[in-house]
Structure 1
Amino acid sequence: MLRFLNRRRAPRWLRRWRDNVRDTLVLLGQFRGSILAFGVTIVIGGWLYLTLAQQLGEPEPHSLIAAMYLALSMIFLQSNVPFPAEWQLQIFFFIMPLIGLIILGQGFADFGVLLFNKRARGEAWQMAVIDTYSNHIVLAGLGHLGFRVARALHDLGEPFVCIEQNPNAELLSQVIDWNVPIVQGDALKHDVLRKAGLERAHTIVLATSDDMMNLQIAIHARSVKPSIRTIVRLFDDDFAREVISAFNITSAFSASALAAPTFAAAAADIEVVQSVTLNERVLNLSRVVLAANSPLIGKKVAQIEHELDLSIVLLKRGKEADLHPDNNRPLKAEDEITVFADTATLQRVKRLAQGT
């Protein structure tokens, strides 16, 4: 799995900024009808006013552009021409503000509801958001394990889309509050996988409570995108090992042996060698290779352990493997280190090792 370490990701702050921009653009897109109606009102209102004004011998406005600007100013009660004497033109000064108030008022009301009440956003909204996703993770199953995986992915700042056929209302609302799009449907169906943007995703995590369903979804996912990385949850350890070799699964984990953060780490391309739980804290062994531009180069083992709150248990340099390396030993480019830390720290170490 070390080959996946070369894939660079944007920093977390940039991904959050992109998520906010994506959310805003989709939100604005939901109201293109109101925006279009407002524009048509200005054009038609300006054209009608110009036509009547010319027939009645009014000196202003001089052109269609000027008439459209006048119609716009009427809507906001900021007319830039004197009040006309002809009743046919006077009507515009009363009708245009009413029409504008109706169109803009309804649009702003709906905009506010969707902006502040994310639960009011329907399936069309979810699909519009998913269309903006790429190089993301698809998580199938929002049960107890799936929800914990979703929370871990959210904590890691990884972009992901959920698929759930019958989501629990309480868990669903929590995930929606994270701005995570959810596709409600059967993950065994190709169209549901495509709705989740699987063809643009880099990994699918299968965390339903049914082992055979997880395996079937993995096969269907490979048929949609053969290169997709598949992380499968299975109850039986021996079965998990057999599945990896028989079905070319990227990773298959036993839920009885691993906690949810380990699934999240695997989905985030963090290689987990082993996982243990100490004092209700999940710690993992992971290997990383230092790139030529890594800021860890030149730092001593003890310094890295102190700054990042981890343990370096193995340093591999070329053919040399140093178990429990000396605290004063500095790191070099292309060093492979095996570290012992929690999932969030491993993600940070991975980025530092890559120089991202």
Structure 2
Amino acid sequence: MFRQRPRSLGRRRYSLARLVRANAFDLFQLIRESRYGLGGFALVMLVGMVYIHFAFGLSYAESLYETFRMLTLQSGLAFPRDPGGMALFFLVPLLGLALILDSVFRFGRRLLDKGSRQEGWQVSLASTYQGHVVVCGIGRVGLRVVTHLLAAGHKVVVVEQRWESAFVPRALELKVPVVAGDARSLAVLRQAGVQRASAVVLCIDGDLVNIEVALKVRSLRPGLRVILRVFSDDLDQNLEEAFGRNSVFSASALAAPTFAAAAVSRDVRAVLGLDACALGVVELTIAPESLMSGFARKVEEEYGIRVIEHRNARGKLLPPVAMRQLESGDHVLLLGPLAALDALRQKNVPRSKAHAILGSLPPHGPTRQHHRVIVCGLGKVGYRVVRQLHQQPDPPSIVCIYSERTRQEFVHSLAALDGVTLIEGDARSAALLQDAGLGEAYSVVAVTSDDFVNLQICLSARRARKDVHLVMRLFSDVLVEQFESLFGMRTVYSASALAAPTLAAAGMLGDVRAAFYCGDSLFATDEFALAEGDPLLGSSIRQLRESRDIVAITLCRGGEVATLPAHDLALAEGDALMVLGTLDALAALRAYRAAPAPAARRY
């Protein structure tokens, strides 16, 4: 089966070459920090050696040796009679021991004991990185961005102001250098190697802080790719004019479409929010004798969906050829409108071909009897989920339960929407859920910022109505999988897990609008227009799929937008495409289109 997150990164190690370079840098830094103490000690030893050489006629090596003996009061030389020599014999032990204790011993201990100065050692490690991605802020979203980048084979350096953060130890376990400091400081950014980085991803909590850091980064590297995490929609649009298209994202805005789709659908793994419509991503295992058995192309054309990944029952990835068949036990990842995916899911039941004849396929989604969605929690995610539900073509009746700590601007904004009812109170109360219309609800969506509260809400709703559809927000991927198994829920999500793939993909590839994980592959979108001389001109949508492993999501021609365009449609000059593929496939497509092409090059 597919997974929503990359495979475990396993135990990571720094390479020997990197450790050697880091230790060399660390030694240089320690020498700089201890230069006055070490210089004073060297001066004392030099003066003592020169005096003994001329006063006693010893070689320089013997004189240096005797100077070291003087430090421990074990010199065998006769006590001098001249005032300068007498003073030297007294001062060398005193000054030498003081400098040794204060500087030399401390220098040696700091050089050998990296644990005593872990923050400085992290800077030394970061100095060895080149072409890496700098992630500022190692919170819930930032940590997931780091793991996605590492899973894709990219080098990462983290900047985190709060060294005591619970996520710093995890980053250190992954052998990711963590530079402690305020990312708004140019010195800290230099320590993280921004001048050598390939991109910077800003995941700090606080829109203004992220903007300030982005401006500082651009002052160091004007052309560097910068990806920002913000919440405000107005900031999103304005900042993209300064930092480039698809460079500013809201984690809650990226996660909300999936929560909203899951509230009125089943088994949705991710949602691509497009201007024209929302396309869902679901995974299915082909049931024996189901209506989904047969040619994949026929299923795609009949239901208006696309098979974006197909594995047989043994888990082998199958190529996207026209005549491939969907057989019992195959695992498929499907992309399409939510209504089409729901219809297709109903057909994917054992012996559904017989059920179709008898008319006994079960319904999915809200019905006349259960037409209400109860959203519990009105934070950044909950607010956007209500907005997404309200904007659906056939919106359900929406009830939102919020606490007294909710930001009032959210409450006032949603109060102005038709079909949205707001109730203040504790959503864990079964009585309050009943007052909110649990008996008429199709689903209960628990999206507070507290995992335990969300669990309590879902358990309370399940006790009151066993058949109610539950959607729950959690942070931990492990907990998500355990709750799916324990409660039979396929609609448990982590908001940060839904948002992080897009931020990571944007940092790696640039100009990415949306992304999601499927197994070990990171899928992302790309948008481009076809101009004269483009090597894709004249090729069909089917050829793009079979030769490049790229799925066309939308095609705009003459002002009209076609979602999931027909396979046989030929690409023409002026077409604007949005496509979906793995990062490797998208990078290869960009390189193919950018390369100088022979005049007659075609697929």
Give the alignment's TM-score, normalised by structure 2: 0.36
Q: Contact 1:142/1:208 (CA < 8 Å) preserved in 2?
A: yes
Which residue of structure 2 lines up, in the alignment, with residue 48 of structure 1? 51
Displacement of 1:53 in angstroms is 1.0
Percent sequence identity is: 21
1:249 paired to 2:244: yes
Could you report, residue by residue, the CA deviation over 1:233-262 in whole angstroms, capped at 9, with x for unpaired residues?
Answer: 2457x7687346533435233423444244
Displacement of 1:266 in angstroms is 2.7
Which residue of structure 1 lines up, in the alignment, with residue 546 of structure 2? 325
CA distance in 2, matches of 1:147, 1:44: 55
CA distance in 2, matches of 1:192, 1:70: 44
* Counterpart selection for 1:266 from 501, 506, 526: 506
Which residue of structure 2 lines up, in the alignment, with residue 299 of structure 1? none
Displacement of 1:46 in angstroms is 1.7
CA distance in 1, matches of 2:77, 2:212: 77
Which residue of structure 1 lines up, in the alignment, with residue 157 of structure 2? 160
Could you report, residue by residue, the CA deviation over 1:301-325 in whole angstroms, capped at 9, with x for unpaired residues?
Answer: xxxxxxxxxxxxxxx9553352332
1:184 paired to 2:187: no
CA distance in 1, matches of 2:110, 2:215: 41
Could you report, residue by residue, the CA deviation over 1:310-343 in whole angstroms, capped at 9, with x for unpaired residues?
Answer: xxxxxx955335233269xxxxxxxxxx8844x7
Could you report, residue by residue, the CA deviation over 1:14-41 in whole angstroms, capped at 9, with x for unpaired residues?
Answer: x955642342123212442365455435
1:148 paired to 2:144: yes
Give SS of 2:167's match.
Answer: helix
> Aligned letter for 2:28?
G
Give SS of 1:324's match.
Answer: helix
CA distance in 2, matches of 1:76, 1:233: 59
CA distance in 2, matches of 1:192, 1:27: 16
Which residue of structure 1 lines up, in the alignment, with residue 109 of structure 2? 109
Displacement of 1:142 in angstroms is 2.3
C-alpha spacing 1:246/1:27, structure 2 compared with 1 (3 Å): closer
Q: Contact 2:202/2:210 (CA < 8 Å) preserved in 1?
A: yes
CA distance in 1, matches of 2:585, 2:207: 28
Which residue of structure 2 lines up, in the alignment, with residue 332 of structure 1? none
Q: Contact 1:272/1:284 (CA < 8 Å) preserved in 2?
A: no
> Aligned letter for 2:237?
E
* Counterpart selection for 1:206 from 183, 202, 207: 202
C-alpha spacing 1:52/1:234, structure 2 compared with 1 (3 Å): same
Displacement of 1:149 in angstroms is 1.9
CA distance in 1, matches of 2:196, 2:502: 23
> Aligned letter for 2:546?
P
Q: Contact 1:205/1:232 (CA < 8 Å) preserved in 2?
A: yes
> Aligned letter for 1:324?
R
> Aligned letter for 2:249?
F
> Aligned letter for 2:182?
G
| Bigger radius of gyration | 2
Q: Contact 2:134/2:201 (CA < 8 Å) preserved in 1?
A: yes
Q: Contact 1:126/1:182 (CA < 8 Å) preserved in 2?
A: yes
Q: CA RMSD in A?
A: 5.0
Count of residues in Structure 1 that have an aligned counterpart in Structure 2: 276
> Aligned letter for 1:227?
G
> Aligned letter for 2:218?
R
Give SS of 1:46's match.
Answer: helix
C-alpha spacing 1:52/1:231, structure 2 compared with 1 (3 Å): same
Displacement of 1:231 in angstroms is 0.8
* Counterpart selection for 1:284 from 523, 526, 533: 523
Which residue of structure 2 lines up, in the alignment, with residue 305 of structure 1? none
CA distance in 1, matches of 2:147, 2:500: 9
Q: Which moved more, 1:44-53 or 1:217-226?
A: 217-226
> Aligned letter for 1:112?
L
CA distance in 2, matches of 1:346, 1:23: 35
C-alpha spacing 1:176/1:76, structure 2 compared with 1 (3 Å): farther
> Aligned letter for 2:109?
A
C-alpha spacing 1:76/1:209, structure 2 compared with 1 (3 Å): same
Which residue of structure 1 lines up, in the alignment, with residue 223 of structure 2? 227
Displacement of 1:146 in angstroms is 1.4
C-alpha spacing 1:23/1:110, structure 2 compared with 1 (3 Å): same
Bigger fraction of residues in helix: 1
CA distance in 1, matches of 2:52, 2:124: 39
Give SS of 1:247's match.
Answer: helix
C-alpha spacing 1:323/1:135, structure 2 compared with 1 (3 Å): closer
C-alpha spacing 1:40/1:133, structure 2 compared with 1 (3 Å): farther
Give SS of 1:182's match.
Answer: strand
Unaligned runs of 5+ in 2: 1-11, 256-497, 527-533, 549-578, 593-603
CA distance in 2, matches of 1:18, 1:159: 17
Unaligned runs of 5+ in 1: 1-12, 55-60, 78-82, 288-315, 328-337
Could you report, residue by residue, the CA deviation over 1:258-298 in whole angstroms, capped at 9, with x for unpaired residues?
Answer: 4424423332336756523447x6631478xxxxxxxxxxx
Give SS of 1:169's match.
Answer: coil
Displacement of 1:230 in angstroms is 1.5
Displacement of 1:145 in angstroms is 0.8
CA distance in 1, matches of 2:227, 2:38: 44
